[in-house]
Structure 1
Amino acid sequence: MLNETIKNQLAHRTIREFKAQKIPEEVFAQLMEVARRTATSVGMQACSIIRVVDQELKNQIAGICNQEYVARAPELLIFIVDQYRNSQIAKEKGYQAETAKDMDRFFQSFTDACLMAQNVVNAAESLGLGTVYLGSILNDSEKICELLKLPQLTFPVLGLGIGYPNQNPQLKPRMEMRLRVFENAYATFENYLDEIKTYDEEMRTYYDLRDPGRPMDSFSNQVVARFSQANPRRQEILNIIRKQGFNLNIK
């Protein structure tokens, strides 16, 4: 039996165009309370949110994302790794927290940020809002750090646009979960193209509103296209993480 929460989750679609209508502050406050109550690794709450309200700053972030619609999002949030706050708390207690720089803490914070973003999305969609995840902020993570004045021991994870939907996109097909859920151990298949043949056909009939009137290519062709593309800036992410003060401890 489906409840309203699950119905909303099963109907999730990415919304890239929003009405000019602002989200009421009381609604935004509810979303932030949901963010506050999100599960967090060992209770350290080591992630934070930058709410971008300056239009010029939005424009610059949209340029990094190479997605002009980002600048039109009524609410633009950037979720960040944040070991800075707790390291400062420890410092004020007289303890120099060198472990705040390690990869264990980094990934705890990174996971916290992802969980928080998903929780906010679920809450927003339950209120009739639309959302768009923006992994594209990592097209130039160093510039994002600069624009948002991120101190040492912080790092951008993902962006999130929120607003009242001004489009009604088709529900995007997904592959069967038998190819993604396994019991006890990872399962491999002899011929993946055979396994996803039906899914490939479904994708060919899907219309993405970003390219009206033209169906998508098959999933298998999309995989090849994605692997053939490389963003040089994204290849430097580990260097930027190190520049933000984290110890990668690579041997």
Structure 2
Amino acid sequence: MNNETIQHQLNHRSIRAFKAQSLSPEDRNTLLEVARQTSTSNFFQQFSILHITDETKRQAIREISNQPYVGANGDLFIFVADLYRNQQIRQQKGLDDGRLHTTEVFFQAMQDATLAIQNMLVAAESMGLGAVLLGSINNQPKRLVQILELPKMTFPVLGIQIGVPDQAPQLKPRLPLDQLVFENGYPHEFSIEQLADYDEVVQTYYDLRNANQRIDSFTNQIAGAKLADGLLQRDEILEVLHAQGLCWR
């Protein structure tokens, strides 16, 4: 089974170079409508979207992300887990905050935001646009909350940069299905040798790709510096969540 939507999804590539133009108002509104129609837990609609057009803020987010393409060409959106709106509804109806400070409800909001941003990504690619998801916005979560002037009961989950592609990167090989999909339960026995063939595929990809060629493999990346023990500013996330009134229990 194949169709145009599936083909776009199977050919997903993160685009990090965009032409020097912004989205048209029509394209931007289409993408926002797609995000708005995303499935939402309990119909609570606990996410919001910030369209970042202020150059000072875009520069600050670029510094946090440490990626030159963030907030450069194209349009930058930040998806926010938003419990503030529903807190205000409850308070203005004379109620307490109920379960809004719990980790479970925050997870609902985070899931709402994540699903919405993925829908926007798929829609953008179907329109011939390019996009890259930005987990790097939370390299400095405390600073980001300040830059975005977020109220308590909110937290920035992911960013996305969307624009007209100015590159055509190769398709990056993903883990094979037999390492991702299991029937009825998770297999507890794992050997790194099961990934030997995949490591070879990844190494060939890095060796042959057009940009940033290197000799590397999947298991070497997992064993590398990014997951080595040590404190990062990203580790402030739980502290910031608590300061924002979230995940108290």
8 A Cα contact 1:170 1:207, kept in partner: no
8 A Cα contact 2:19 2:166, kept in partner: yes
How far does the alpha carbon of each residue in 1:202-232 deviate from its partner, in whole angstroms, 9 at most, with x for none? 1112249998352341111101113226452
Aligned partners of 2:125 and 2:108: how far apart in 1?
26
Q: For the structure 1 residues 209 and 191, does the alpha-carbon distance in structure 2 shift closer, same or farther, using more than 3 Å as the test? A: closer
Which amino acid in structure 2 is aligned with residue 131 of structure 1?
A
8 A Cα contact 1:206 1:216, kept in partner: no
Gaps of 5+ in 1: none
Hey, what does 1:128 align to over in structure 2? 128
Count of residues paired in the alignment? 248
Q: CA deviation at 1:74?
A: 1.2
Name the Cα RMSD after superposition.
1.8
How far does the alpha carbon of each residue in 1:70-92 deviate from its partner, in whole angstroms, 9 at most, with x for none? 13141101011100001101111
Aligned partners of 1:170 and 1:195: how far apart in 2?
25
Q: What TM-score do you get using the length of structure 1 for normalisation?
A: 0.94
After the TM superposition, which of the residue ranges 227-236 and 113-122 deviates more from structure 2? 227-236
Hey, what does 1:58 align to over in structure 2? 58
Hey, what does 1:221 align to over in structure 2? 220
Hey, what does 2:200 align to over in structure 1? 201
SS for the counterpart of 1:91 is: helix
Which amino acid in structure 2 is aligned with residue 5 of structure 1?
T
8 A Cα contact 1:129 1:162, kept in partner: yes
After the TM superposition, which of the residue ranges 205-214 and 24-33 deviates more from structure 2? 205-214
Hey, what does 1:74 align to over in structure 2? 74
How far does the alpha carbon of each residue in 1:173-223 deviate from its partner, in whole angstroms, 9 at most, with x for none? 11211111101100134422x211111111112249998352341111101
Aligned partners of 1:82 and 1:167: how far apart in 2?
34
Hey, what does 2:211 align to over in structure 1? 212
Q: CA deviation at 1:69?
A: 1.2
How far does the alpha carbon of each residue in 1:17-38 deviate from its partner, in whole angstroms, 9 at most, with x for none? 0011221101110111111100
- The percent identity for this pair of structures is 44
8 A Cα contact 1:169 1:209, kept in partner: no
Q: For the structure 1 residues 190 and 90, does the alpha-carbon distance in structure 2 shift closer, same or farther, using more than 3 Å as the test? A: closer
Q: What TM-score do you get using the length of structure 2 for normalisation?
A: 0.95
Aligned partners of 1:142 and 1:44: how far apart in 2?
26
Equivalent runs, 1:156-171 vs 2, <5 Å:
156-171=156-171
Hey, what does 1:87 align to over in structure 2? 87
8 A Cα contact 1:206 1:215, kept in partner: no
Aligned partners of 1:243 and 1:185: how far apart in 2?
37
1:155 aligns with 2:155: yes
How far does the alpha carbon of each residue in 1:3-50 deviate from its partner, in whole angstroms, 9 at most, with x for none? 000000000000000011221101110111111100000001000011
8 A Cα contact 2:169 2:210, kept in partner: no
Aligned partners of 2:142 and 2:119: how far apart in 1?
27
Gaps of 5+ in 2: none
Q: For the structure 1 residues 164 and 29, does the alpha-carbon distance in structure 2 shift closer, same or farther, using more than 3 Å as the test? A: same
8 A Cα contact 1:46 1:109, kept in partner: yes
8 A Cα contact 1:74 1:162, kept in partner: yes
Q: CA deviation at 1:56?
A: 1.6
Aligned partners of 2:200 and 2:77: how far apart in 1?
36
